[in-house]
């Protein structure tokens, strides 16, 4: 009912303008006609049929002119508004996406221009997303080309040495083979992580949600890492409350998050030292923190550790690190409607994670 009233307002306004114009022109016609009639009645000797007819033609012409002028005056604001909107539409068509038309009134034109505004904003959003996606692709290609070139150059160099027989004995031959193998593994790891990061950046990514006790999952995962860390002189301190910590997550991907954070902690921790893993849960979310002692790190770098291809120690590029581990972790946590951030104090860096117990699962379009 309301919509029908709105969509009929511009028609009502036009009919009203026509009616007012007609009434005013009719009044003018009657007034002038009365003067003409009174003139001829007062001067009967001047009565001439030709002059009389010409007088009424002039009166009729004046009436039409009054009708047109009045009608144009009444709809002048609408005409100016349409011209203004037309210029805005041309501006949008010329690439100024996001341009908005000022909405005036509550009729069909207002509804039409509101739809144009929505279309303009939607096109701008899609264009910005595509441009950002293109920039990300270009940045990925630019960044990864350097990281791929380093191990690939070494592999090609050592293969050339073997192909030309430039080795002294079997021990040196075996050493070259081992270097080639390690470099190729680093190269494979980088490519795999690049592929995973690209996949996680896709808007059509699906998560395989399952309910799991996150405390038990963490204990199992930490148990696998204890021997690895002990070889480096590092001890993992686990603080998990004795209560149910059931959450709905993609288990495989959340395990990947903890893997990446623990590997990062092992790589950059001072040795010997302790690594602290803590878990807390309430009715709405679980909070996990992983802390390790590290070298003094500039605070302005802290917010960048989750950026793709960022390395805390830029000199460490030969250990197979891709700079994508924490970026992948951030993508996975965000897909779970959670958040991840870092804190640094007194040589201790802490990675904090919050995940809702029941994430909002996005439906496919």
Which pLDDT score, from 0 to 100, does residue 136 have?
66
- Please, are residues 270 and 349 in contact by the beta-carbon 8 Å criterion? no
Rounded distance between C-alpha atoms, residue 333 and residue 329, angstroms: 6
Architecture in CATH of 209-356: 2-Layer Sandwich (3.30)
Domain spans of the chain? 2-74, 142-200, 209-356
Task: Give residue for tokens 């803590």.
Answer: 278
Which pLDDT score, from 0 to 100, does residue 140 have?
65
- Say which residue, 8 or 306, is predicted with more confidence: 306
Same fold, 142-200 and 209-356: no
pTM: 0.59
Residue 348 scores a pLDDT above 80: yes
Average pLDDT over all residues of the chain: 80
Closest alpha carbon to 24 in 75, 65, 77: 65
- pLDDT tens for 61-115 read 888 888 888 888 888 888 888 888 888 888 878 877 777 788 877 777 778 888 8
Which pLDDT score, from 0 to 100, does residue 316 have?
44
Which pLDDT score, from 0 to 100, does residue 339 have?
92
Which pLDDT score, from 0 to 100, does residue 320 have?
47
pLDDT band at 7 (very low <50, low <70, confident <90, very high): very low
From 191-205, 237-251, 295-309, the region with the lowest mean pLDDT? 295-309
- pLDDT tens for 20-47 read 888 888 888 888 888 777 776 776 666 6
- pLDDT tens for 194-234 read 778 777 877 677 888 899 999 899 999 999 999 989 888 89
Architecture in CATH of 142-200: Orthogonal Bundle (1.10)
Give percent above pLDDT 90 in the chain.
Answer: 13
Which pLDDT score, from 0 to 100, does residue 313 have?
52
Residues 6+ apart with CB under 8 A from 332: 200, 250, 253, 254, 256, 257
- Say which residue, 214 or 244, is predicted with more confidence: 214
**Average of per-residue pLDDT across 6-14:** 68
């Amino acid at each position: 009912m309301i919509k029908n009233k709105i969509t009929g307002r511009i028609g009502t306004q036009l009919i009203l303008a026509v009616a007012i114009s007609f009434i005013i022109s009719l009044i003018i016609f009657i007034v002038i006609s009365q003067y003409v009639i009174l003139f001829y009645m007062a001067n009967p000797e001047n009565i001439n049929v030709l002059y009389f007819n010409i007088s009424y033609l002039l009166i009729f012409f004046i009436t039409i002119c009054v009708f047109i002028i009045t009608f144009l005056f009444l709809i002048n604001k609408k005409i100016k508004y349409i011209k203004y909107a037309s210029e805005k539409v041309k501006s949008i068509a010329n690439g100024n996406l996001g341009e908005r038309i000022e909405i005036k009134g509550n009729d069909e034109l207002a509804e039409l221009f509101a739809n144009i505004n929505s279309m303009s904003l939607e096109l701008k959003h899609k264009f910005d997303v595509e441009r950002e996606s293109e920039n990300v692709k270009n940045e990925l290609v630019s960044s990864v080309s350097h990281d791929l070139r380093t191990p690939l150059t070494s592999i090609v160099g050592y293969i050339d040495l073997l192909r030309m027989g430039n080795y002294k004995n079997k021990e040196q031959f075996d050493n070259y083979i081992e270097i080639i193998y390690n470099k190729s593994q680093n190269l494979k790891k980088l490519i795999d992580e690049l592929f995973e990061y690209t996949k996680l950046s896709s808007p059509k990514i699906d998560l395989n949600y399952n309910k799991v006790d996150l405390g038990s999952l963490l204990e199992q995962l930490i148990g696998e890492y204890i021997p690895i860390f002990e070889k480096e002189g590092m001890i993992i301190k686990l603080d998990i409350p004795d209560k149910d910590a059931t959450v709905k997550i993609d288990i495989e991907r959340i395990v990947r998050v903890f893997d990446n954070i623990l590997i990062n902690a092992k790589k950059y921790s001072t040795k010997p030292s302790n690594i602290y893993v803590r878990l807390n849960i309430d009715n709405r979310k679980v909070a996990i923190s992983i802390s390790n002692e590290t070298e003094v790190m500039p605070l302005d770098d802290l917010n960048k550790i989750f950026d793709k291809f960022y390395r805390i120690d830029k000199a460490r590029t030969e250990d197979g690190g891709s700079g994508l581990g924490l970026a992948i972790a951030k993508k996975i946590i965000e897909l779970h409607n959670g958040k991840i951030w870092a804190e640094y104090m007194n040589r201790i860096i802490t990675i904090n994670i919050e995940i809702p117990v029941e994430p909002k699962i996005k439906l496919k379009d």
